[in-house]
């Protein structure tokens, strides 16, 4: 009920996007987990062709996230969201009615392209429309996505027993309904504000040259690697510990229930205690430690009876819920911080690039964990992949903590003694990007010409840079941004 009440507090557009995320995950998990089995059992494809079809989707999705982000910035998120949902509708319909390799490859590419379009666009729209409640919005997005994925898996497992094509038809119908609903209800956004870069390559160059953003993206690699173990290492460990083939579903159900009950509570508690930014590294530590409980029950002999299997599954559920709790702490705040690193007009580009990094991280991390699982199985070092995941979590947490101490994360005051570097001076104007809510900058005036306590006004500061910094410190020293990036070339745009 808490999630429903919070959802009702947001505008209609955000409510639709939350339901959109819910439907997207239902449709995706209703079909994709069963695609490989259909290609092998239903169409008799070889492992190489199955890998080609599945790889085409991953490649088109991960490689084109940056294009989806740029399209969002230049066309507006509404157009890109609707286009992405329409493309996925077509792609899933092709899975239902196509049985040749070219059609299946086309369906895979379309579904990957669709995700590359609507994921950055949805996050950009949420960031624009949620105002000061970005963390809550992304928390609710996480809740709806988690519940949708679980419901999709359950519904897909039932429909797959009947016919895979039925899974594809139902998934296509869900995306078709989402497309129509968004076209009718989602408000039209204004033209995104443009900065000094006139080309897409200029936008990409600005994002790639943002050192703070790149360091942050690489620091959170461990989060996505650990999150993906819900579908790789944890199901294998649960099967080994309990000997029950349905054990993976129990882990996901327990995590989804915890997410539904506690995600919003956790996010609001973090906001009341200094903001979620300072707690990201703690969430990553919890995610890493979640791989320790399975060490108590995995790798041994099969359970002797039902009571032992239940006891072992209880331990596995504890680890899974810990992982979900870590995700609930870190993930919404990470998404909240992504657009703070750049200009508002490049929010989509930053989300797109961030998803490129996260996709590559998940792929590479899964490869490392998979190799550790194979090596541990051959040598008897069954504990190796669990410690690898622990190392991912601790390393990622340490990296984020170092960025935080260095004042490199947005949304935090600059540490005492750390140099404050403002944006470049363009002509006589100092331009800056606020890491927290935008701080108005007063025009620099000669001393004595303005009465003490008179509020600052205006969006730019004219005059010497040191006078502008003095005015900023007098206004609100706690909101001075951290070390600036070399690409702060435009003034802040007003919220849209």
Q: Which two three-digit tokens encode residue 175? A: 């995306």
Q: Which two three-digit tokens encode residue 458? A: 């205006």
Lowest mean pLDDT among 49-58, 362-371, 472-481: 472-481
In a domain? residue 304: yes
pLDDT reading at 145 higher than 60: yes
Q: Which two three-digit tokens encode residue 178? A: 């989402």
| Mean pLDDT value across residues 172-199 | 78
In a domain? residue 195: no
pLDDT reading at 389 higher than 60: yes
Same domain, 152 and 250: no
Total number of domains in the chain: 3
In a domain? residue 491: no
Same domain, 204 and 61: no
Same domain, 217 and 364: yes
pLDDT reading at 488 higher than 70: no
- Give me the pLDDT at residue 98, please: 83
- Give me the pLDDT at residue 452, please: 37
Q: At 435, phi and psi to the nearest 5?
A: -80, -30
- In the sheet with 425-426, reading across from the earlier edge strand, the strands are 425-426, 429-430, 461-462
- Give me the pLDDT at residue 1, please: 65
pLDDT reading at 409 higher than 60: yes
Please tell me which residue, 95 or 458, carries the higher pLDDT value: 95
Q: Mind listing the pLDDT tens digit for each residue in 238-258?
A: 998 998 888 988 999 999 999
Q: Tokens 């669990």, residue?
A: 386
**DSSP letter string, 184-198:** HHSPPPPPPPP-S--
Same domain, 348 and 455: no
**Are the C-beta atoms of 487 and 342 separated by less than 8 Å?**
yes
- Band of pLDDT at residue 361, cut at 50, 70 and 90: confident
- Band of pLDDT at residue 149, cut at 50, 70 and 90: very high
From the list 117, 105, 96, the residue with the least C-alpha distance to 50 is 105
Q: Mind listing the pLDDT tens digit for each residue in 36-57?
A: 888 988 888 888 888 899 889 8
Same domain, 179 and 204: no
- Band of pLDDT at residue 494, cut at 50, 70 and 90: very low
Tally DSSP H helices, then E strands, for the chain.
18, 3
**DSSP letter string, 154-195:** HHHHHHHHH-HHHHHHHHHHHHHHHHHHHHHHSPPPPPPPP-
In a domain? residue 178: yes
Gap between the Cα atoms of 72 and 68, Å rounded: 6
- Give me the pLDDT at residue 161, please: 86
Gap between the Cα atoms of 173 and 427, Å rounded: 56
- Interior CA angle at 93 toward 92 and 97, to 5°? 120
Same domain, 372 and 302: yes
- Band of pLDDT at residue 214, cut at 50, 70 and 90: very high
Query: Hey, how many other C-beta atoms are within 10 angstroms of the C-beta on 318?
Result: 16
Q: Mind listing the pLDDT tens digit for each residue in 436-453?
A: 444 444 444 444 443 333
Q: Residue 356: beta bridge partners?
A: none
Same domain, 125 and 69: yes
In a domain? residue 485: no
Same domain, 186 and 221: no
Same domain, 212 and 177: no
Quote the percentage of the chain above a pLDDT of 70. 80
Q: Is the pTM of this model over 0.85?
A: no
Gap between the Cα atoms of 275 and 128, Å rounded: 19
Instruction: Please provide the average confidence, as pLDDT, over all residues in the chain.
Output: 81
Q: Which two three-digit tokens encode residue 35? A: 């695609």
In a domain? residue 423: no
pLDDT reading at 16 higher than 80: yes
Same domain, 335 and 262: yes
Q: Which two three-digit tokens encode residue 2? A: 């808490």
From the list 460, 467, 413, 423, the residue with the least C-alpha distance to 440 is 460
**Are the C-beta atoms of 59 and 40 separated by less than 8 Å?**
no
Same domain, 214 and 154: no
pLDDT reading at 465 higher than 80: no
| Mean pLDDT value across residues 220-248 | 91
In a domain? residue 236: yes
Q: Which residues contact 140 (CB under 8 A, 6 or more apart)?
A: 3, 6, 7, 18, 263, 264
- Give me the pLDDT at residue 189, please: 57
Domain residues for the domain of 453 are 429-479
**Are the C-beta atoms of 217 and 353 separated by less than 8 Å?**
yes
Q: Mind listing the pLDDT tens digit for each residue in 284-337?
A: 999 999 999 999 998 877 788 889 999 999 999 999 999 999 999 999 999 999
For the chain, the distance separating the N- and C-terminal CA atoms, rounded to the nearest angstrom, is 30
pLDDT reading at 495 higher than 80: no
Write down which residue in 376, 411, 446 finishes a domain: 411
Q: Mind listing the pLDDT tens digit for each residue in 421-440?
A: 433 333 333 344 444 444 44
Task: Give the CATH number of the domain where residue 372 resides.
Answer: 1.20.1250.20
- Band of pLDDT at residue 260, cut at 50, 70 and 90: very high
CA-derived radius of gyration, the chain: 24
In a domain? residue 493: no
Please tell me which residue, 129 or 455, carries the higher pLDDT value: 129
Please tell me which residue, 306 or 352, carries the higher pLDDT value: 352
- Give me the pLDDT at residue 40, please: 87
pLDDT reading at 383 higher than 50: yes
Same domain, 395 and 445: no
């Amino acid at each position: 009920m808490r999630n429903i009440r919070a959802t009702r507090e947001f505008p209609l557009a955000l409510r639709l996007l939350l339901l959109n995320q819910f439907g997207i995950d239902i449709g995706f998990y209703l079909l994709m987990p069963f695609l490989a089995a259909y290609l092998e059992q239903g169409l008799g494809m070889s492992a190489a062709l199955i890998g080609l079809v599945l790889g085409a989707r991953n490649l088109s999705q991960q490689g084109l996230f940056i294009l989806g982000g740029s399209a969002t910035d230049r066309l507006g998120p509404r157009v890109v969201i609707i286009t992405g949902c329409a493309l996925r509708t077509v792609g899933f319909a092709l899975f239902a009615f196509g049985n040749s390799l070219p059609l299946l490859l086309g369906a895979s590419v379309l579904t990957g392209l669709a995700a590359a379009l609507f994921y950055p666009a949805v996050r950009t729209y949420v960031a624009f429309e949620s105002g000061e409640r970005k963390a809550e919005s992304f928390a609710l997005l996480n809740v709806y996505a988690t519940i949708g994925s679980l419901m999709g898996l359950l519904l897909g497992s039932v429909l797959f027993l009947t016919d895979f094509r039925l899974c594809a038809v139902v998934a296509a119908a869900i995306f078709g309904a989402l497309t129509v609903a968004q076209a009718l209800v989602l408000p039209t956004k204004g033209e995104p504000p443009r900065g000094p870069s006139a080309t897409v390559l200029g936008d990409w160059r600005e994002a790639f040259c943002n050192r703070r953003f790149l360091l942050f993206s690489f620091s959170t690699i461990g989060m996505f690697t650990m999150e993906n173990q819900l579908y790789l290492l944890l199901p294998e460990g649960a099967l080994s510990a309990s000997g029950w083939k349905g054990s993976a579903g129990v882990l996901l159900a327990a995590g989804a229930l915890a997410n539904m009950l506690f995600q919003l509570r956790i996010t609001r508690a973090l906001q009341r205690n200094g903001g979620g930014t300072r707690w990201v590294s703690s969430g990553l530590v919890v995610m890493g430690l979640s791989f320790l409980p399975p060490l108590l029950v995995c790798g041994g002999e099969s359970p002797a009876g039902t009571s032992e299997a239940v006891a072992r599954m209880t331990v596995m559920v504890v680890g899974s819920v810990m992982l979900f709790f870590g995700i609930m702490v870190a993930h919404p705040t990470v998404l909240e911080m992504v657009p703070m690193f750049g200009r508002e007009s490049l929010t989509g580009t930053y989300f797109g690039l961030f998803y490129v990094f996260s996709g590559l991280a998940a792929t590479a991390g899964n490869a490392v964990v998979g190799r550790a699982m194979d090596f541990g199985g051959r040598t008897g070092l069954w504990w190796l992949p669990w410690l690898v995941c622990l190392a991912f979590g601790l390393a990622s947490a340490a990296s984020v903590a170092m960025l935080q101490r260095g004042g490199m994360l947005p949304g935090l005051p600059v540490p005492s003694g750390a140099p404050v570097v403002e944006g470049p001076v363009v002509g006589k104007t100092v331009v800056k990007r606020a890491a927290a809510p935008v701080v108005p900058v007063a025009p620099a005036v000669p001393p004595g010409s303005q009465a003490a306590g008179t509020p600052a006004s205006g969006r730019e500061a004219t005059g010497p840079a040191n006078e502008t910094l003095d005015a900023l410190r007098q206004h609100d020293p706690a909101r001075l941004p951290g070390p600036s990036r070399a690409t702060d070339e435009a003034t802040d745009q007003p919220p849209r």
